[in-house]
Amino acid sequence: MAWVVELNGVDPSDGLAKTKVFSLGAGYAFTDSTFAPTGLVSWRSPSQKVDVSKDGGVTLTADAGQIVISNLPADIGSAGPWDVLRTWAWHGRRANLYYTPDTWANRTLIATGTLQQPVAPLNANGSSVTSTLQFPLRDPRSPLSAPLQPTKYLGNNAAGTGVEGDSDLKNKPKPVLYGVVSNIPGVLVCKEKNVWQLADKSAGVLCAREGGAAFTAGTARGTLASLLSTTPTAGTYDTYAGSEGTFVRLCGTPQYPVTFDAYEGATSADRTHAQIWKRIRTERCDNVAGDITAASVTATDALAANEVGFWKNDETTRLDLINEVLTSLSGYEVLGFDSKWSIAQLVAPSGTTVLDFLTLTPTSTLKTKSRPIAGLTMVRPGFAPEGCPPYRVNVNWGKNYTVMSRADFVGGVAVQAPRLIDKFGLEWRTEKADNTAIWNPATSTGPYPQAPQLTVDTGYQPGADNLTCPHAATEATRLIALYSAMPGQFQLDFIPAVTDRILPGDVVSVTYGQMGLSGGPLFRVLQAGWVLDEKGPQATLVVGFQV
Amino acid sequence: MIKSGVGTPSYATLATWAQVTGAWDSDYPITNLANLRSIRSVAKASGSGVRAFTFILPAAVSLQFLAMLDHNGAAASTVRYRLFSDNNPDPVGNAGAIVHDSGTLSLLPGGANADWPQNHPYVLSAAVTARSCRIDLSSHATAWQIGAFEIAAWWEWTDVETPREFGLNNNDVVAAMPNGITHEMSQWAPRVIKGTRGVVTQTEIHTTALDFQLATGLRNPFVWVWDFNDSTTWPREVVLVHNASLPSPRAVEYPGGRVAFDFEEWLR
C-alpha cells in the first residue's frame, strides 16, 4: 500500500503533457510495473468552504493547499534530482492524491487540487542542505477565474452594416443571458438601424419598451441579414434569434431609454437555478454533460423549481456568474471524487450520515462509519460573526436591470401606470421574513436589540400573478428559520480512514458529552480539510447547521 | 508451573473472515475481527443464538496461539476451534485436513469479571501448520460481540521474575478550580505491566526477542498472557497490550541474558 501524488504538467523539452508520480515514504513499485519514486513529503488539500456571509449570501471560498516534494541533492552544491520540474508548465493543471492498496489500477482518488508553479525554499548556508519543491494548490473552482465572455465586439460597423458595434463597443464582451430577465438595456450594436443585441445565443424576446412604453411585437426574422435589411412597421419591433445571438430592431430612433424582457431556455423548467447552473457549466466553463452529476440537478430542481434569470454585459468572470446563481439559490457546488460537479441548496441536515463522530471510551463500540473525535471546538457561523442571530432575512427578487428615473418615462409620469414607475424605479423588489423572538422591530422588544438582518439577492421572477413573488417569500421564511435558530457550528478533527472521502454538503453526526451534543445531532459538512504527511492522514471538518 | 508469554508473530491482519452459521450486524461486520488496532471496532452478531465463522490465511503458517478479545460471553458460553491445513475449513467435507481440534472450551473458566475486558486465550500444546480455522460459539442470549481476534505463533516465556510491576496508568485529569477546589474527570486507565525475564539464552535474545521488538514496535498491539495454566488470572492478566518502551535485551554473560518488558494495555 502507498500514498502517491500524481502531478499533471507539460514537459518543455518536447511540449508533451506528462505526469509525474511520487510516493510518501519509500519509493513504491506497484505490481503492475508502475513505479512511484519516493519524494512526497506532504499534501494539504485546498479545501473548499461553504459559508454564509454576514450579509446573508452563501459564499464559496477555499483554503490554500500545498504539495511538498523532496528535492534533496546528493551533496551541497549539487543539483537537486527534481530541479527540472521548475521548468515544466503546471499552472491550472490537476494534481491528484491516490491511495493504492496494491496495483496502480486499483488506486483510490483521495483528494485533488489545481496546481500553480512551484517555489523552492533552499537552505543554502553551506553547512546543511534542505531542499523541497512546494507546489501551491488551489481548489478545483480556480479555473472559473477566466473571463465569462471571451467573444468581444469588433467595433467595426460602417454605415449601418453589421452588428459588431461602433468603435465605442470595441473589445467589450457580448451579452450573456440565462433564464428570464426583465428590463435589460441590451447592447446597441447598430445605431443606424436601431438594432440591439440581447444575448450571444438564441433566446426569446418577451417585450421591448421605450421609456417604459411597450412596443408591439413585429416579425421574427429568419436571418440576421433579413433583420438588418427590413425596417419594422411603425410602433413595432422585429427580432432575430440564431447562432449569431439574439437581436431586436426597433421601428425608429428612440428618445427615451430602451429596455427589453427576454428569456433563454426552452421552457420554464429549463430556467431553474440548477438547470441554468448546468448550462453555464457546460456552455461557459469547459465542462461537458458528463462532468455534471445529473442527480444533483434533479434534487435541486425539486427544492427550487421556480424560474430565475441572470444577464451580464460587462467584463466579468465565470466565477462571478456561477456565484451569482449559487447565491440566488443559497446553494453551493462541489467537485466529487468521481470528478463530476454537483449542485445543492443549503438546507438543514437530514437523512443518512456518511460518518458518525463520537468520544472514544474503553467501552465504545465503533460502527463501520464511526470515527473517534480527536478535537472539537465550538465556533460561530459566518452569518453571526459576533454570535448574534439575525432577526430578519430579506430576499430580493425581480431584478430590474435598468433603474429608471421619472424623467426616463416616455410622456412623463402622468401617462404611466404607478406600478411600472415603482417597479422600474427600483433595482429590486423584496420579500422579508422576521423572527420576532430574536427582535421585534414593530415593538422594539426582544433579547437581541442589535440583531442583524440578512439580505439575499436572487434571480427569482414574479409568480403567476406577475406582480408578487410567493416563492421569494417562501425562501425568506425558510432562511430565517435556518439562520435565526443559531444552529451549532464546530470544528472537528479526526484521523480518517482511507475510505473517508468527505465533501462539503455531506451529513455527519457528532456525539459528545457537552454543548448539546449528547444526543448525536446531525450536521452539514461545510469544509473538509485534509492533510497527509509522515504522521499519516489527518482531517479537519467544519460542520454546521446542527439539528 | 506457570505458562507465560505473548502471541507473536501475529497473522491477525492477514485473515479473511466469513460467517458460516448466523449473521452479523452490517454496522459491525465480522471483518472487524481482523483489526487489533481498533479494538473498539467490534464484530457484533445480528441477533441471539449460536454463531460459527471461519478465517482463512493467505498461506499456511505455524500457529500456536489464538485469542478472542473483549468478548461478551456469559459464564456458560463455550468455544471450539478447529484448525485446518488448507483453505477449506469444513469439518464435515474436509475433516481430513483438521490439524487441531480444541474440543469445547469454556470461554470464562475462571469466572466472569465485568470490571475488565473479557479475553479468552488459547495456547496449543504444540505449534501446528495451519491455514484456516472454524470457530463455533455456543448460543448467546442477546448477541455475540467480539472486539478482535488474535492469530499468532506463541513466544513462551520461561524464568519470568515473579516480582513484577502490574497496575494502572491512571490518566485522571485534575483541574484546579477557584477556592482550592479540584475537579477530576475520569479518563482512560490502561493496565501497565513491567518486569524482567531473568535467564534467557543469548540465542533467544538475538533472534526471537529482537524479531518481536521489530514486529511490534511501540504501536502494534499483541496479547500478553501471565499464566495460561491458571484461568483465574485471565480476567486481569490476559491483556491486549503494546510496548510502552523497548528496553534493550541484555546479554550479560554468555550464554545467558535478561529481557525486560514494558507493556501498556491497548484500549483503542
H, E, C per residue of chain B: CCCEEEEEEECHHHCEEEEEECCECCCCCHHHHHCCCCCCCCEEECCCEEEEEEEEEEEEEEEEEEEEEEECCCCCCEEEEEEECCCCCCCCCCHHHEEEEEEEEECCCCCCCCCCCEEEEEEEEEEEEEEEEEEEEEEECCCCEECEEEEEEEEEECCECCCCEEEECCCCEEEECHHHCEEEECCCCCEEEEEEEEEEEHHHHHHHHHHHHHHHCCCCCEEEECCCCCHHHHHHHEEEEEECCCCCCEEEECCEEEEEEEEEECCC
Shortest CA gap A363–chain B (Å): 7
pLDDT of A165 above 70: yes
Contacts of A370 in chain B (CB under 8 A): 41
Size of interface A-B (CB pairs under 8 A): 28
Shortest CA gap B40–chain A (Å): 5
Pairwise CB contact (< 8 Å): B27 & A360: no
Q: How far is CA A111 from the centre of its chain?
A: 19
**A370: contact with B, CB 8 A cutoff:** yes
Q: Comparing A141 with A278, which gets the higher pLDDT?
A: A278
Pairwise CB contact (< 8 Å): B42 & A366: yes
Q: Quote ipTM for the complex.
A: 0.78
Pairwise CB contact (< 8 Å): B42 & A368: no
E runs forming strands in A151-257: 176-184, 187-190, 195-199, 204-210, 213-214, 216-220, 236-242, 245-250
For A368, name the nearest residue in chain B, comparing CA atoms only.
B27
**A359: contact with B, CB 8 A cutoff:** no
> Closest to B40 (Cβ–Cβ): which among A360, A368, A369?
A360
E runs forming strands in A426-514: 429-434, 453-457, 489-494, 507-511
> Closest to A368 (Cβ–Cβ): which among B29, B188, B268?
B29
Task: Identify the residue among B25, B40, B183, B268 best suited for mutation to test binding to A, counting A beta carbons within 10 A and taking the highest.
Answer: B40
Question: In the structure, what pLDDT confidence band is assigned to residue A124 with cuts at 50, 70 and 90?
Answer: low
- pLDDT of amino acid A185: 96
Lowest-pLDDT range, B7-11, B188-192, B258-262? B188-192
- pLDDT of amino acid A126: 58
Amino acid in position A38? T
pLDDT of A263 above 60: yes
Pairwise CB contact (< 8 Å): B41 & A366: yes
Contacts of B145 in chain A (CB under 8 A): 365
Each residue's pLDDT tens digit, A359-415 = 888 788 889 899 999 999 999 998 988 889 999 999 999 999 999 988 888 876 555
- pLDDT of amino acid A100: 87
pLDDT of A127 above 70: no
pLDDT of B173 above 70: no
pLDDT of A525 above 90: yes
Can you name the residues that pair with A246 across neighbouring β-strands? A199, A241
pLDDT of B175 above 80: no
Mean predicted lDDT score pLDDT of chain B: 90
Amino acid in position A334? V
- pLDDT of amino acid B168: 83
Pairwise CB contact (< 8 Å): A365 & B188: no
Residues of chain A with pLDDT > 90: what percent? 71
> Which DSSP symbol is given to A165?
-
Shortest CA gap B131–chain A (Å): 22
Q: Average pLDDT of A72-94?
A: 88
Pairwise CB contact (< 8 Å): B267 & A365: no
Q: Average pLDDT of A169-176?
A: 96
Q: Comparing A130 with A475, which gets the higher pLDDT?
A: A475
Q: Average pLDDT of B2-10?
A: 92
Contact predicate A161/A112, CB 8 Å = no
Q: Average pLDDT of A260-278?
A: 97
For B147, name the nearest residue in chain A, comparing CA atoms only.
A365
Report d(CA B138, CA A210) in Å as an integer.
89
Can you name the residues that pair with A355 across neighbouring β-strands? A508
Q: Average pLDDT of B146-170?
A: 85
Q: Average pLDDT of A23-48?
A: 82
Domains by residue range for chain B, with CATH? 4-157 (2.60.120.260), 165-265 (no CATH)
Name the packing angle between helices A273-284 and A294-303 (round to 10°). 150
Q: Average pLDDT of A124-130?
A: 63
> Closest to B27 (Cβ–Cβ): which among A361, A364, A367?
A367
Q: Which of A468, A506, A504, A175 is nearest to A306 (CA)?
A: A468
- pLDDT of amino acid A416: 58
pTM above 0.95, yes or no: no
Can you name the residues that pair with A210 across neighbouring β-strands? A213, A258
**CA count, 13 A, side-chain hemisphere, A443:** 11
Question: In the structure, what pLDDT confidence band is assigned to residue A159 with cuts at 50, 70 and 90?
Answer: confident
Phi-psi region of A160 (alpha: psi -120 to 50; beta: other; left: phi over 0): left
Each residue's pLDDT tens digit, B130-157 = 999 999 999 999 999 999 999 999 999 8
Pairwise CB contact (< 8 Å): B28 & A362: no
Q: Which of B31, B57, B35, B55 is nearest to B44 (CA)?
A: B31
